[in-house]
Amino acid sequence: GGKKKGPAQLRIFNLGNTSPVSVPDLVRILEELLKVKAKKNVLRMPSNGDVPFTHANVTLASMELGYKPTT
């Protein structure tokens, strides 16, 4: 497909936690909070495609949502 013109309809915010959370755990937490069941298609991922450590950048969430993480 071609490139669409105009601003994106949705925004993605990079948020973090003080300790890692697995994708299945995050999905379970969101299901509980939103009271909906996720449609899942679980695929095996190659181990060489995963990164050992990640970090969050909450700048956009701070500016647009007033997000202020606490410890």
| Residue 37 pLDDT > 90 | yes
Give per-residue pLDDT as tens, 46-65. Answer: 777 667 677 788 888 899 99
For residue 66, give every residue at least 6 positions away whose Cβ sits within 8 Å of its Cβ, in sequence order, or none. none
The helix/strand/coil state of 13 is coil
**pLDDT band at residue 2, thresholds of 50, 70 and 90?**
low
| Residue 34 pLDDT > 90 | yes
Number of helical (H) and strand (E) elements in the chain, helices listed first: 2, 0
In the block, residue with structure tokens 């890692």:
20
**The total number of structural domains that make up the chain:** 1
Confidence (pLDDT) at 49 = 67
What is the domain extent for residue 44?
1-71
Specify the pTM: 0.55
Q: How far apart (Å, rounded) are the C-alpha atoms in residues 25 and 31?
A: 10
Contact 59, 12 (CB under 8 A): no
